[in-house]
């Protein structure tokens, strides 16, 4: 089943976004993928039927976050797979390695709430805070 995460929705002109916090970079990246999927599919159940090994690079953690979420979006829009959850093994400054679980998109099962066109750099950020890690992501709809 698709896991849930806590995030704050950002309602931006012609865009949607979110902020979220986590204790580690690995948890932050895994939860950001859940938040992105939640914007698209809401509570639609997604079973972990397919497994992918994904490696992503970036100039810094913010670039890495945008590239990571673009990979998750590509799995849905390009490959027709709905995201269930990710096990992020490594989320360093410029490199991420994760195992991603998905299932084939089924319009009878997976209701599209919002069509996300792109994950953008606009106001994107990943920061280490006193309490852990925080990110903000804005998506084009």
What is the distance, to the nearest Å, from the Cα of residue 29 to the centroid of all Cα atoms in its chain?
Answer: 7
User: What CATH architecture applies to the domain 8-140?
Assistant: 3-Layer(bab) Sandwich (3.55)
Q: 25 pLDDT exceeds 70? A: yes
Give tens-digit pLDDT for 47-87: 999 999 999 999 999 999 999 999 999 999 999 999 999 99
The partner residues of 52 in beta bridges, in order of sequence, read 100
Mean pLDDT of 28-36: 97
Q: Are the beta carbons of 41 and 82 closer than 8 angstroms?
A: yes
Residue of 1 and 127 predicted with greater confidence = 127
pLDDT of residue 16: 85
Residue of 141 and 63 predicted with greater confidence = 63
pLDDT of residue 3: 60
pTM above 0.85, yes or no: yes
pLDDT of residue 62: 98
Q: Could you give the residue ranges of the DSSP H alpha helices within 7-120?
A: 25-41, 61-77
Give tens-digit pLDDT for 89-119: 999 999 999 999 999 999 999 999 989 999 9
Say how many residues make up the chain.
141
pLDDT category, 10, cuts 50, 70, 90?
low
With tokens 């995201």, the residue in question is: 83
pLDDT category, 43, cuts 50, 70, 90?
confident
């Amino acid at each position: 089943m698709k896991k849930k995460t806590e995030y704050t929705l950002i309602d931006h002109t012609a865009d949607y976004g979110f902020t979220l916090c986590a204790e580690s970079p690995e948890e932050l990246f895994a939860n950001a993928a859940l938040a992105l999927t939640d914007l698209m599919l809401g509570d639609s159940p997604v079973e972990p039927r397919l497994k992918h090994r994904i490696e992503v690079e970036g100039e810094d953690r913010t670039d890495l976050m945008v590239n990571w979420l673009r990979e998750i979006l590509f799995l849905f829009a390009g490959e027709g797979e709905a995201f269930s959850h990710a096990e992020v093994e490594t989320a360093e400054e410029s490199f991420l390695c994760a195992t991603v679980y998905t299932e084939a998109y089924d319009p009878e099962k997976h209701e599209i709430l919002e069509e996300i066109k792109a994950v953008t750099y606009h106001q994107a950020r990943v920061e280490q805070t006193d309490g852990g890690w925080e990110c903000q992501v804005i998506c084009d709809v």
